[in-house]
Structure 1
């Protein structure tokens, strides 16, 4: 079995305090949530999962998340809507938006809303990890 840290050598170079900041994973698909959480934890990141944007916003973790990985298409508030909501409330969190239904317009909207990455499912683990590193580098909390 491959050592998860070898998936992206830059993670091992990150200070432990960087890897312990919270990554919130928001997706209505349980398998996707758990797979991303397991990957993040295997790499030494602190990670919590939420089945909806509303669940995340109601949680005690909303105020301390350093990075979001959110699905675009979810019942209720979408990942894109979540980005707007947080920005409008003065609490923009570096976000990686993921979707199985990409369009050029959606990509443009996501990046304009401040997403640090826009990934199409299925995506490479290395692309997600690189996005997390970028996101954590932007968060100064």
Structure 2
């Protein structure tokens, strides 16, 4: 591929709030990243994008399977995906536990776009193509 880059990471976004999904998708795509969006944890798990996802932005609180359960499944996978947590509600204990379990970052809604972009790029840097 031109420019010496052979792999542009795929970022998955799992959130039941369509406006948040749209905002993150626009931010990341405008920065040259590939994005796949999912309205639920189940939709992500059932997708054919799961195997190629290099970073996942995950809302903690969703109907059905919650973000914590999806995060736990991903962390236990033979090919764990770097996860950035996005939430409207959390406490210090939950935040510390998620970071200890391997979350790359945790953002409260609303998040600052430049901070999210930096966290995604850092998470993508932890993956080997």
Q: Same fold (TM over 0.5)?
A: yes
Is 2:108 aligned against 1:126? no
Partner in structure 2 of residue 73 of structure 1: 61
Deviation of 1:102 after TM superposition, in Å, equals 2.1
Q: Distance in 2 between matches of 1:76 and 1:113?
A: 22
How many pairs does the alignment contain?
Answer: 127
TM-score after normalising by structure 1:
0.84
Q: Which residue of the other structure, out of 83, 100, 118, is the alignment partner of 1:112?
A: 100
For residues 44 and 16 of structure 1, do their structure 2 counterparts lie closer, same or farther at Cα, with a shift above 3 Å needed? farther
Q: Distance in 1 between matches of 2:65 and 2:78?
A: 18
Unaligned runs of 5+ in 2: none
Write out per-residue CA displacement over residues 39-94 of structure 1, whole angstroms, 9 at most, x where no aligned residue: 11011100010001110011000000000001011112222221210222322100
Q: Distance in 2 between matches of 1:80 and 1:91?
A: 18
TM-score after normalising by structure 2:
0.91
Larger displacement relative to structure 2 (60-69 or 19-28): 19-28
Q: Distance in 1 between matches of 2:12 and 2:5?
A: 16
Q: Alpha carbon RMSD of aligned pairs, Å?
A: 1.7
